[in-house]
Amino acid sequence: MESPVPKPFIKVLLSLLVACALFSSCETATVVSTPIQPGMTKAELRSNFGPPIRKVVNDDGSEDWFYHFSCERTHTGSFVESSVTPGDPSLNYGTSSSWSMTFNEGVIRLSKDGVVTGQIPQGQIVRW
């Protein structure tokens, strides 16, 4: 007996269901707006930004905590385009803008006393 639903339709439906399941399980990134300040304690760092993606304990007792940092860039520019064709000259003008975000791994140094010291990477920490 022939199925009332065509086989190609069932294949497409199953493919869509699998794609939805995959996309719904993906992690989303959250940019944390709280700035990192020198002098923050290890406990403050962990409570504000979560655990580091990795940690290195140095010989002097200090620790390097690695996090993902985001850097946003926006570019805006003007443009003028002209076209001259017989009977149909045109002039277009306006502005264009683009936005991008990059993710870089950055290190935060904690002294042997558990306090943030040294240079703080640019950008904001991203939680996954």
Token reading at 102: 């990059």
Share of the chain above pLDDT 70, in %: 79
Strands in the chain per DSSP E: 30-31, 54-57, 63-83, 90-110, 116-117, 124-127
pTM higher than 0.85: no
* Residues 57-96: tens digit of each pLDDT: 999 999 999 999 998 888 888 878 888 888 788 888 888 8
* Residues 91-114: tens digit of each pLDDT: 888 888 888 888 899 999 999 999
